[in-house]
Structure 1
Amino acid sequence: MTTICTRAWVHGRVQGVGFRYSTQQQAKALGLKGYAKNMDDGSVEVLACGEESQVQRLLEWLRAGGPRSAQVDKVLTEPNSLHEEPESFTTA
């Protein structure tokens, strides 16, 4: 079982449409830890830590458009190494 952390920036119509809450629900269902938070440029930053296959499933969900109310134009990702893994998945 390989634990990884990936940071993603989701661009499009992703603020004010329940995107962070839906991402939190999806991440918790997959057993992931991290956060989803609004950025000043209108994107949402997502940090997902957990089993590699589950992180990939969340990224696929994000790329597929997330919740129905959102419109995802692009998702940028990069591996992330943390000194301390988050305790749960939160929204900010």
Structure 2
Amino acid sequence: MKVCFIAYVSGIVQGVGFRYFTQQQARALGVSGYAYNMDDGRVEVLVSGDKQQVEKLLEWLKSGPRTAKVERVLIEPRAYKEWVGFEIR
């Protein structure tokens, strides 16, 4: 089953390689989408693909890389859309 979610990650998540590490995880899991630094200091992550793999990435976002300090992750479902690759915006 294919799913799509958007996650808003709060905490110390900008300037610590969060988007790069998220891209690495996404590619390893075979999911697509993007990671984007928002003006308010959060990182927006859209992830699309196989439900099980998407859930693994969403779970990973709750801790993130060692360089980050994730305080909160707000996850919202989105209508499924096919994305090509996982990009950093």
TM range (shorter): over 0.9
CA-CA distance at 1:23 after TM superposition? 0.1
TM-score by length of structure 1 reads 0.94
Runs of 4+ more than 3 Å apart: none
Instruction: Look up the SS of the partner of 2:4 in the other structure.
Output: strand
Equivalent residue, structure 1, for 2:77: 79
Q: Which runs of 5+ in 1 are unaligned?
A: none
CA-CA distance at 1:85 after TM superposition? 1.7
Equivalent residue, structure 1, for 2:52: 53
Instruction: Look up the SS of the partner of 2:66 in the other structure.
Output: coil
Equivalenced residue count is 89
Equivalent residue, structure 1, for 2:65: 67
Counterpart CA distance in 2 for 1:45 and 1:33 is 14
Instruction: Look up the SS of the partner of 2:64 in the other structure.
Output: coil
Equivalent residue, structure 2, for 1:34: 33
Q: What is the root-mean-square deviation of aligned Cα atoms in Å?
A: 0.8
Counterpart CA distance in 1 for 2:33 and 2:25 is 12
CA-CA distance at 1:58 after TM superposition? 0.4
TM-score by length of structure 2 reads 0.97
Instruction: Look up the SS of the partner of 1:26 in the other structure.
Output: helix
